[in-house]
A and B are shown apart, each in its own frame.
Chain A
Amino acid sequence: MERMTRLLAGLLGTTARVLPPSRRQWAEAIQAEAGQVPAGWRQLHWLAGGLWLVAREANMARKIVYWLGLGVVAAAAAWAIWLSWRTVPAADPESVTDRVRVLVGASALLVLPWAGRRSGLFGPVGSGITPRLVRVAGCAAVCGLGVSIVHLDRNAGAGGVLGSGTISWPREIAGLVLLGAVAAMPPVIRALKPQADAGAVWGPAGVVALAAFAVLPMQVLTILYVAGILAATSRRSPLPSAALAIGTITGLATGLIIYGVLAIPSDIALTGGIVLTLFLILAAIPFLVAAPAGIAAAWLLSGIEDPKALRARRVRQGLLAGATAGAAGGLLITVSAMGLGIMMIIGPLAGAAGGAFGGAVAAAHPRKSLPGGSWAAGMFVSSR
């Protein structure tokens, strides 16, 4: 018992160091007070209470769950790489292309958080459970994308849906060089022209990114999605947690609706007109679903500044929530039905348009305050 007590006391002293100084003294207070508690079980319980206090004040449960989530993402990325390596290139001409795609995605998951950490663009993760959950789920979905690509191409064989059939090393190398140029351009421009504005810094990089997209669409899309997930869930994200939650939940609904629509059995021949109609339906779903998300997200904003500025902020917040919804829906539907990879482009664009529309509607029709607060995103937010 005495050894156990000493062990717990030592553990409490050690773990208290993870607390910020303002909270550490409380753990030290429990430790100091333990001497007054009768030895035995009561002292042991007292010290265990101290450990509970440390876990609670350090948000340990949240951090442990987050790191477990990151472990799952790492395992999923490793699985995707392993899967892409299992197929013999001679048996499937696309397998080398898939390896490159999977490796690019895994590298983006590994490199972008590290590269963007200093500027705060991609990290650290925002406080609260929502950004952490969205980050882990989004990164896991990107890994799922890699697994789906490998599975699809292994079953589709040569000339499958997502590739030209065989690896083209000049194209892969040219695309990767262009991607490297995109990453290098902003810091180089900033170093050469410190006075350059954001447009001058990011404009040329955007043009090169478009060229890279033309060469390696899947790889560039994957990197963009990883960057988007990290940026939307970082501490500096312009999207508040509630708007992020609205966008993500709406995105899941968008994916399910599209999946449901496409699951309707039909023996209609896919003529040009039918394909166009289908395309319009696929674009309309994220737009229509993102519009209410934009309204809800925009209504979350309040302020006493210039009404024009508030209106602009509401439209922007609606746009971001809508884009999140469209991107989440596009990613989800692509993971589950890889042939709909185009939704990774249509989804965020249509979602952004729907969200901006919703934001504009919300700005034009501000909610009337109810006594004591207002409803937003299905929750009553007290203003008292």
Chain B
Amino acid sequence: MPPRAALSAQTRAVLAALAAQPLEWRHGYDLALETGLKSGTLYPILIRLADREMVDACWEADQPAERPRRHRYRLTSLGLAATTAALAGAPAPAGVTRPRRAAAPRRLASERS
């Protein structure tokens, strides 16, 4: 069964960038440079991926002296499995495309892949 919602090219690019170093925490500007996405495109994608529990997001633990704390991102195990499947063209694991809230919105046919 194909995934419920096809991933956009931009989302795939973000996932691929995160999957290149799955154990490393990444920062927004690094991801923007690597994917070529602008902040107004990159961050909504990160928000959706975090909502779907595919990406972990957190602030740096320590406060550096010379700059504000940065937000960082890393794939979850669910996100890594979904990325591997999506980049290989295989179906995503169950539950990946379902948002966290209990009642997921119904989708129109035109939104389906």
Contacts and interface: CB of A to CB of B under 8 A. Distances in A.
A29 B40 contact: no
B75 interface: no
B44 A50 contact: no
Contact of A26 (B38, B47, B68): B47
Interface string B7-50: 00000000000000000000111001000001111111011000
Interface in A1-54: 23, 25-26, 28-33, 35-37, 45-50, 52-53
Interface residues on A, range: 20 to 34
B71 A52 contact: no
A56 B44 contact: yes
B44 A53 contact: yes
A157 interface: no
Given A29-B28, A33-B29, A382-B112, A53 B70 contact: no
A92 interface: no
Interface string A163-189: 000000000000000000000000000
Interface in B57-75: 57, 59, 67-71
Contact of B41 (A29, A49, A379, A383): A49
A29 B71 contact: yes
A46 B43 CA distance: 11
Tell which of A32, A35, A37, A381 has the most Cβ of chain B within 10 Å: A32
Interface string B97-113: 00000000011110110
B109 A49 contact: no
Contacts of A36: 27, 29, 67, 70
A32 B28 CA distance: 10
Contacts of A379: 108-109
A52 B40 contact: yes
Contacts of B52: none
27 contacts: A25-B59, A26-B46, A26-B71, A28-B71, A29-B57, A30-B28, A31-B68, A33-B28, A33-B71, A35-B67, A37-B29, A49-B40, A49-B41, A49-B43, A52-B40, A53-B40, A53-B43, A57-B44, A379-B109, A381-B106, A381-B107, A381-B108, A382-B106, A382-B108, A382-B109, A382-B112, A383-B106
Interface of B: 4, 27-29, 32, 38-44, 46-47, 57, 59, 67-71, 106-109, 111-112
Given A31-B68, A36-B70, A373-B109, 7 more contacts: A25-B59, A26-B43, A49-B39, A53-B40, A382-B109, A382-B111, A384-B112
